Each structure stands twice: as structure tokens, then as C-alpha cells.
Amino acid sequence: MTTQTLQLSAGPIRVRDSGGDGEPVLLVHGLFVDGRLWDGVAAHLAAEGLRVVIPDLPLGAHKTPMRPGAPLAPADVAALLGEIVAELGLERVTLVGNDSGGAISQLAAATHPDWLARLVLTPCDLYENYPPPAFGGLVPLARRTPWLLTALMQPLRLGAVRRSPLFAGWLTKRGVDDALLADLVAPFLSNAAVRRDAYAFTAGIDKAQLVRAAGELRVPVLVMWADGDRFFKRRFAERLAAEVPGARLERIDDSYAFTPIDQPERTAELIAEHVRSTPGAGSVPAREAASA
């Protein structure tokens, strides 16, 4: 994959791109990780002939901060996806999100961009489960006392804490190499500007906004959920599959929330199948038409 840095409205964003003429798949990570979450999935998708694009979004693991004062609430980060697509000249994009990257992807899809062909949601925030209760305290801390949140995150300097349920332990069943975990948390722990960006995103989380987004999806949607997920409950996935016209629900066995790490081959298989089996934007009737 080639790597380039795009100069976007909020600041520089690092993007990896497999290139090629296949339909593009844009893989979106969540808070406190970066695009390396998707490496295993990306390899399988590229082997299927798809063009894979992976940005490192300003969500706390990014190494280069955004410009001071840049708007970085979830809807603003969702808008950055459109800037990435425009910079790369992409069309008929399949947007795939995990964790809070799934919320970002829904917010992007809800605006009906003309570049979007279809949406895939791996375990992620849905409806009122935004963020899941276990992480709900992050939002008020980011809004009111970010210095306290900074202090509470300091134990992540220790490998045992990084691997514990407080961070990655309940997100991935297979585990993550601790050198990678250390590299993911290092920018947040060492750079005040990176922390500023992460807090701007977290403080902007709005449950009502995500509930509205689910009702405004107009592209083919695949929802895949993990049987062992402790945070993103199946009932929310079932609700989306029932309420969004044309949406489909698939289960991934033997996995926690980070299906791209626990089951990269199966995750990629479902994404590729969704690309092959759906014609893309405009194929799903609006809710009003479905209820007519």
C-alpha cells in the first residue's frame, strides 16, 4: 500500500491506499486506535481486487495534530471522509466502520453523499448506545474536566493495563501485540495537541444525532455483529436491520468487538460479498416509500 498525507480542512491526515481499479472500500477506525486495526482485513480485500483506503483519523492515536480550533466533533470527522474521497477522486465507495468509527460512518452516510455506494457496520455505536455504558463517563469528562481524563489515562503507560479490560482486553478476543498497543496510546499520552483533538471528538458525541442518522440511511447496509461482544449489544444491530429498508444482519463467531482483529478473513469475506451483491446507492427505497 502507498502512504500519503492529505492536507484537509482540519489538518493533515495520513492515508494508506492499495490503489488499483477495483471498487473502493474506505475503512474507518474508532477512538484511541488508528488504521492498523484494519490491516488483516485490508490484505484480504486487496486480494479480492478491491481498492482499499485506510485513513488515520484524529481520534487520539494520530501522530500529527490537527490545526488549533479545527472542528472535530463526530459529524465534523464524518465530513472529513468526504474530503478524503474528493482528494483521491473516488466514486461508488463502500464505507466500513468499527467501534466509534461506525458512528462516524453512519453520520457520513446519513447526509446522502453522491460518492457513497453502500455501508458496512461491524460492531459499533448504534442508536442510544453511543457510547456504550462502560465508556459513557468519557463524554462528560472530555467536556468539563479533560485534565482529569488525562490523569485517568496515564496507567495506559503500563502494558498490563493496556491489555486489561480497561483498554483492549474486552475489545479483542485474540489480543493485540503490546508493542502496537503502546504505539497506539503514545501520541495521546505524550502530545497535548493530540489529546485536544481526541477530547474535541469525545465532547461532541450526541446520542440524538446518531439516532437520527439511523433513520436517514438510504444505501444498502450490512450489519455484522460479534457473538462475544460485551459492549455493542446484538439487540441494537437487530433493531437497525429491522428498521432500515434493505439492511441485512450477519453474525461473526468467536470474536469480540474488534472483528477486524479477531476475524479478519470472515470480516473481509462479508464486506466483499456485500460489494458484489448490491448495486449501490439508490437501490434501497426511502423509508417513506417502503411504508407507502
Cα–Cα distance for residue pair 209/217, rounded to 1 Å: 13
pLDDT in tens, the chain (292 residues): 999 999 999 999 999 999 999 999 999 999 999 999 999 999 999 999 999 999 999 999 999 999 999 999 999 999 999 999 999 999 999 999 999 999 999 999 999 999 999 999 999 999 999 999 988 889 999 999 999 989 988 988 888 888 887 677 778 888 888 999 999 999 999 999 999 999 999 999 999 999 999 999 999 999 999 998 989 999 999 999 999 998 999 999 999 999 999 999 999 999 999 999 988 654 444 333 333 3
Q: What is the per-residue burial (b if ≥16 Cβ within 10 Å, else e) of 252-282? A: beebbbbbbbbbbebbbbbbbebbeebebbe
Helix (H) or strand (E) holding 125: none
Residue 72: how many CB atoms within 10 A of its CB?
24
| Domains of the chain and any CATH numbers | 2-291 (3.40.50.1820)
**Cβ–Cβ under 8 Å, residues 80 and 10:** yes
**Cβ–Cβ under 8 Å, residues 29 and 37:** yes
